[in-house]
Structure 1
Amino acid sequence: MASRNNNFIFMLIPILIFHATILFASAGLLPFSSKHVIIFNRLITRATLVVHCRNKGDDKGVISLGPGDSFDFRFRVNLRKTTVYTCSFVWTNNTATFDIFRADRDDNPRSKVGVCSECIWSIYELVPCRDRRDGGQPYCFPWTS
């Protein structure tokens, strides 16, 4: 009888670990969570948008986006959850910067915008907006500069 209980426990433990990992990952509670940032040029003027994203250890290069075009990159959040990617945006007679990913905002279940594993951004002249997967109103933010 004891060996049947031991077998059950040995089978149950991996299942519980698997489910706990999925739960913590979906809630943004695991370190090194994988992120996918997608940036769309949604300028109303249909101008070309020049994007340059970087953090202190990773430069994504300068990308030129036509109207409706997108640019994406992937990374993992650092252990201390302090990862920040800042992008500069240039279009006709305008320059703006914005933190396109901030772990405290985009990988924090307690933030007003919640956790995103696929962080989809629409860039407009007036504001950058993080789109919602459920199709609801996007979260729009002021430009940093």
Structure 2
Amino acid sequence: MNQRTISQFSIFWLVIILTFGISGAFTVVSKLFGRNYVRIFNELDNGLLFFHCKSKDDDLGLRNLQPGTYWEFSFHQRVFGTTLYFCNFWYTNSSKIKFHAVFDVYRESTKFLNKRGWTILI
């Protein structure tokens, strides 16, 4: 092999090693932060609470909760502080009045503002 071929071959392997090394390092650093949990309770007097939660990368699906029950999900935050989960909530009360709201349930930039969570009273 000539010098140019060796140089191109070396650069190719350097790029491969750096690519996998960096992505592996991000995974390890992300796991060092621990898991984050979001728990959704249905504290309505009666009726199903419907919701749909997702992020840019994960769609957690359409779900519903009976009164007095909860559902939770967990995740690792991204290394660069761009983690955002949001949920659409809706229900119809006994008077057939419909309610709909959308909330950011986790935003990386504000995670320390409210450590106890959110309660939405209707």
Report the TM-score when normalising by structure 1. 0.53
Question: Matched residues in 2 for 1:123 and 1:67: separation?
Answer: 14
SS of the residue 2:109 aligns to: helix
Normalized per residue, which structure has more helix? 2
- Matching of residue 98 in structure 1 with residue 103 in structure 2: yes
Alignment of structure 1 residues 71-110 onto 2, 5 Å: 71-92=71-92, 93-106=98-111, 108=112
Structure 1 segments, 4+ long, off by >4 Å, are none
User: How well do the aligned residues superpose, as a CA RMSD in angstroms?
Assistant: 1.8
| Aligned AA (1:99) | D
Aligned residues of 1:51 and 1:63 also touching (Cα < 8 A) = yes
Q: What runs of 5+ residues in structure 1 fail to find an aligned partner?
A: 1-30, 126-145
How many corresponding residue pairs? 86
Which segments of 5 or more consecutive residues in structure 2 lack a partner in the other structure?
1-28, 93-97
Q: Deviations over 1:94-134 (max 9, x none)?
A: 1110001111112x4xx3x2xx4xx7544432xxxxxxxxx
SS at match of 2:67: coil
Q: Secondary structure at the match of 2:54?
A: strand
Alignment-derived partner of residue 40 in structure 1: 41
Deviation at 1:63, TM superposition (A): 1.0
